[in-house]
Chain A
Amino acid sequence: MSISLPALSAQLLVGLINGSFYALLSLGLAVIFGMLNIINFAHGALYMMGAFCAYFLLNIWGIGYWWALLIAPIIVGIFGMILERTMLKWLAGLDHLYGLLLTFGLALIIEGIFQNYFGSSGLPYAIPDQLRGGTNLGFMYLPIYRGWVVVFSLIVCFATWYLIERTRLGAYLRAATENPTLVRAFGVNVPRMITLTYGLGVGLAALAGVLSAPINQVRPLMGENIIIVVFAVVVIGGMGSIMGSIITGFALGVIEGLTKYFYPEASNTVVFVLMVLVLLVKPTGLTGRAA
């Protein structure tokens, strides 16, 4: 089989971009799970809300992409914090599965509402002027926006990692994950931290949504399938480690991209097949602590 370098690198790039979204989403899931013990099924719906936020900002108030990158995650993050304060909070102490069921219901509501008003087709969102066009790297043509998504996601992922693993706030967060009662005894407002954590995780999902808007268009059901893939990513990587989520996310994106080139029929299923293999070999996941 002769390998066409431009086609292969194009698929690799697509893989890296999907990997960025997987990484941002699974990172958010891991952070939320650590603090709230909830698997946030609404993550895909909130990712979609991020994209819609960018769309509204542009088409209603004329606020462009760069501000949307900041504002959309904040708006969706606040929305998430309201959800946490009004609903998720009441599940503390119950079986973790109730969190999954509740957020699944929320996802149905959010996606249903958007689907009612916007149907199932995609709304266009233009690439900002500064990131239009592309450069020829010799072996492939690189659209600048796509390169930007990968680089920017990496920066955000590592910033989140730094925040959690290297700052004082992150230390409180990790401590509260291990033993919330003890941390409360030290005078840290753990319930507020839980709310902020949910906001942070959700904000990351919204950010991924804004990044994806110019590439994948803005669709009410854009988060429906990706969230299941991200669940598989989380099972493969394990939710114990932040860095683990980032690396697994990018790696699986790349593997998916390679599959699109070598055996396109399996590109939808490769992540799930890998999940099965990992479970058979190492049930706790690659970075896994048992849970």
Chain B
Amino acid sequence: MTAMTDNAMPVTPRAIRDEMIVFAIMTLLLLIVPLTDLYPFFVMQALCCALLACAFNLLIGYGGLLSFGHAMFLGTGGYVTAHAAKVWGMPPEFGILVGVAASAVLGVVTGIVAIRRQGIYFAMITLALSQLIYFIYVEVPFTHGEDGIQGIPQGHLFGFLDLSKPTVLYYVVVANFLFGFLIVFRAINSPFGEVLKSIRENEQRAISLGYKTDQYKLLAFILSGTLAGFAGSLKVYVVQNASLSDVEVSMSGLIVLMTLVGGLGTVFGPVVGAFIIVATQQYLAGFGSWVTVIQGSIFVACVLLFRRGIVGEIAHFFRRSL
């Protein structure tokens, strides 16, 4: 394997300490956002995307598996949570739980199919699977087709946190994001993560050492899909709707782009990338479909000029792993 692992570095205790420091800074920055002029809605949207990109990065950055269909998990988590909250009247904690469970099930089903091939085929298969899921959501009645599920009540988390209050919602989203981020962080620094990296580097070798690589890949896929679904469920309480645009191929592409811009296989890259891409979408909204052209150009520039991504370049400069 070659450059998909540009950002690969051995994880030493020192690197973990660096990562802890950056994590502390990130947490602090997120906590003081309501005191600044930053628009909390923008930060919350970016955080949902960041969680999504972190989940995606777990697969590509550490397992070497490029999923071009992660929008299916985002959409599934979103639709199921939206339905649970609006039609079944579930409180947020159960709404999120149901959405996450649904994406986990989808992760198992699609994972069993997708991990049967590697590399380029894996990407095409996940893309086709997400298109299949897209067409299913177009047909089934509970998603309300083109209209989507609108006006979702935010409710009270655990009965006392009123999510319709912007500040409460903000801190709930931050807490959930940090929770999801730490799950990914824990996974990549665990023995499981080490095996995953060995599969990325040399799957045949890992097999010969006695690892059942298919099981590891499947587990990574399910974990990644579940967390992506978690991001989708969370997003429902932020934007209060769920629509087909979250399941579209362009969304899957956007997830790839965020991670690529930030740095494939870096811990914090997906977060940085998500903030940048969500910001470009906000500021360039007036340019209409030129946004697509700009995003395409970023793709091309990233692949041709800086494959390490922003965080990857910084880490490379300081010879650290971030």
Interface residues of A, Cβ cutoff 8 Å to B: 33, 39, 87, 90-91, 93-98, 100-102, 104-113, 115-116, 224-225, 228-229, 231-232, 234-235, 265, 268-269, 272-273, 275-276, 279-280, 283-284, 291
A123, chain B: closest CB distance, angstroms: 17
Q: Output the least CB separation between A273 and chain B (Å).
A: 7
Inter-subunit contact A39/B116 (CB<8 Å): no
Report the Cα distance A102→B2, complex, angstroms. Answer: 16
Q: Determine the distance from Cα of A115 to Cα of B295 in the docked complex, in whole angstroms.
A: 14
Contacts of A272 in B (CB 8 A): 128-129, 131-132, 135
Q: A228-B128, A269-B132, A269-B135 are in contact. Are A112 and B289 (CB under 8 A)?
A: yes
Chain B interfacial positions (CB closer than 8 Å to A): 1-4, 66, 68, 112-113, 116-121, 123-125, 127-129, 131-132, 135-136, 138-139, 249, 253, 256, 260, 288-293, 295-300, 302-304, 307
CA distance A95 to B297 in the complex (A): 20
Given known A39-B120, A231-B124, A279-B117, contact A105–B4 (CB-CB < 8 A): no
Given A104-B253, A115-B289: A96 and B296 within 8 A (CB)? no
With A106-B300, A273-B132 as contacts: A279 and B113 at CB distance below 8 Å: yes
Given A275-B125, A276-B129, A283-B117, A102 and B304 contact (CB-CB distance below 8 Å): yes
Given A97-B120, A276-B113, A90-B304 contact (CB < 8 Å): yes
Main secondary structure of the interface of A (DSSP, over half): helix
B293–A113 contact, CB under 8 A? yes
Docked CA distance A291–B125 (Å): 14
- Cross-chain contact A95 with B2 (CB below 8 angstroms): yes
Q: State whether B303 touches A96 (Cβ < 8 A).
A: no
A234: contacting residue among B124, B253, B256, B299, CB under 8 A: B124
> Which residues of B sit under 8 angstroms from A275, Cβ to Cβ?
125, 128
The complex places the Cα of A115 from the Cα of B250 at a distance, in Å, of 15
A265, B66: Cα distance in complex, Å: 30
Asked if B131 contacts A105 (CB within 8 A), the reply is no
Q: Which residues of B contact A96 (CB under 8 A)?
A: 119-120
State which of A102, A109, A232, A268 has its C-beta within 8 Å of the C-beta of B303.
A102
Residue from B2, B129, B136 within 8 A of A93 (CB atoms): B2
